[in-house]
Structure 1
Amino acid sequence: MCGRMAITLPHDAMAQVFAAQPSNDLPDVPNYNVCPTVSVHVVTADDGGRRLRPMRWGFIPAWYAKPTGGPLLINARSETIADKPAFRAAVRARRCLIVASGFYEWKRVPDTVPQPWYVTRADDAPMAMAGIWQDWEKDGTRITACAVVTCGANAAMAPIHDRLPVILSPQDWPLWLGEAGHGAAPLMQPVADDALRFTRVSTAVNSNKAQGPDLIAPVQ
């Protein structure tokens, strides 16, 4: 599961890390509380090279009459992505990297307020989450939207949540983006247990209106 993230890296740094040409309409950064349906930073690749571009976080199947015409699809399960009508064409032809500094996940304990954790790469590198995307168009309105691909949790994540975004290492980016041929399915696996850092943070992030660096500050 991935339902909230933070993006703090400047645009020029993101473009350099991913060797991508940045669009001129990227979302503002830093954003410490990125919520579904807002624009996120996405890397795609085609014959012209890599692009860093904005996309709505929340995949819109072609048959939706409007963007809110069905369930909000912010995640796509790796186990079923190739079979689901909403996702199967995109995972074959429209894969992307969804860039974040980290994401939030909530540990749920009975009779208590869910406790948020901020999850980053242990090496402090930007997080490249496997994603899929497509254009949706209706009555003259065109929206480019994406979803995060998720897998079962690794042993480090399991005490907090049973799902985890598919997090790709730099050597895997060309294959996921389609630059290095076919056969990307084996990449849809949990990252190594020691690849992530978990920071318990304030419940202030439980509000989707909260902002500021205090949201990722550790608490006891």
Structure 2
Amino acid sequence: MCGRFNLNTTPEEVADHFGIIGLEDFPARLNIAPTQPILVIVEGERQEPGSNLPNRQAMLVRWGFLPGWVKNPKEFPLLINARSETAIGKASFRAAMRHRRVLIPATGFYEWRRPTKEEGGKAQAFHIKPKRGGIVAFAGLMETWSSADGSEVDTGAILTTSANRSIGRIHDRMPVVIAPEDFSRWLDCKTQEPRAVKDLMKAADEDFFEMIPVSDKVNKVANTGADILEPVAETLAPASKPVAKDDGQMSLF
């Protein structure tokens, strides 16, 4: 699962990495959470005459996928991830896998190691980012959902796969990462059917990511400052006794 990630970079760096012209300004975001807007890269409708650049565009979608056939979003589960192993045949994602594959820029994501029953204590948060730094492209799907009154909402999900061995020590799933040399093939939904890009939906190499223990500040959506990235000593200290208090913040964990 990928339930939080970050995009801590500039529009210029994103534009350069994905071959986009005229990307609008946006702020760095260190704690992106479900239902919030996320940046996605899509294949454009047409190529500019005489241009050798990729015809890609950036847009914002809501993180939380809604298939077009859903009648009432309130009665449908929040789909922030899609399992790459089953997305091709699953009713919720079948059409998007064929027609609306996207790339989701990120500079890292967060995962939690849950303690065993013997260990006790609370979960340890990790910031997982490329060892060499820079931007990564998560494989994603998007769908435009239309309500009965004609309004539309663009929505998206991150594709996940079985974790590689290093990340597997804290969680069994990880986002699918698409390499720059495969951007065009992944985004090309006109000539590349889902089965033709199935080989791209795999775990990143063992040495691609590094995992840095961070504090539980990242658990709260309201915490968006640079302090949530500060490394801490990895620990599975006993959990504190719950406080009977409602701070008005929904928790996903």
Match of 2:6 in 1: 6
Contact 2:99 2:189 in 1 (8 A): no
CA deviation digits over 1:156-194, x for unaligned, max 9? Answer: 110010001001111111111117942111100101001
Normalised to the residue count of structure 2, the TM-score between the two structures is 0.82
1:117 alignment partner, SS class? strand
Normalised to the residue count of structure 1, the TM-score between the two structures is 0.94
Q: 1:183-194 counterparts in 2 under 5 A?
A: 183-194=196-207
Asked whether 1:136 is paired with 2:128, we answer no
Q: 1:23-42 counterparts in 2 under 5 A?
A: 24=24, 28-42=26-40
Following superposition, the deviation at residue 20 of structure 1 comes to 1.5
Contact 1:174 1:180 in 2 (8 A): no
Runs of 5+ in structure 2 lacking a partner?
47-54, 234-253
Question: 1:179/1:132 Cα in 2 relative to 1: closer, same or farther (>3 Å)?
Answer: closer
2:143 alignment partner, SS class? strand
Runs of 5+ in structure 1 lacking a partner?
none
Asked whether 1:118 is paired with 2:127, we answer yes
- Between structures 1 and 2, the one with greater strand share: 1
Structure 1 distance, partners of 2:98, 2:41, is 16
| Counterpart among 133, 138, 155 of residue 145 in structure 1 | 155
Q: Which has the larger radius of gyration?
A: 2
Following superposition, the deviation at residue 91 of structure 1 comes to 0.6
Following superposition, the deviation at residue 10 of structure 1 comes to 1.3
Question: 1:180/1:126 Cα in 2 relative to 1: closer, same or farther (>3 Å)?
Answer: farther
Match of 1:15 in 2: 15
RMSD, aligned CA: 1.6
Match of 2:115 in 1: 109
Which contiguous aligned blocks of 4+ residues in structure 1 show a shift greater than 6 angstroms?
none
CA deviation digits over 1:5-28, x for unaligned, max 9? Answer: 11111122211211124554x7x4
Following superposition, the deviation at residue 213 of structure 1 comes to 0.8
Q: Count residues with an aligned counterpart.
A: 218
1:36 alignment partner, SS class? coil
Match of 1:44 in 2: 42
Q: Which amino acid aligns with 2:17?
A: V
Structure 1 distance, partners of 2:112, 2:59, is 28
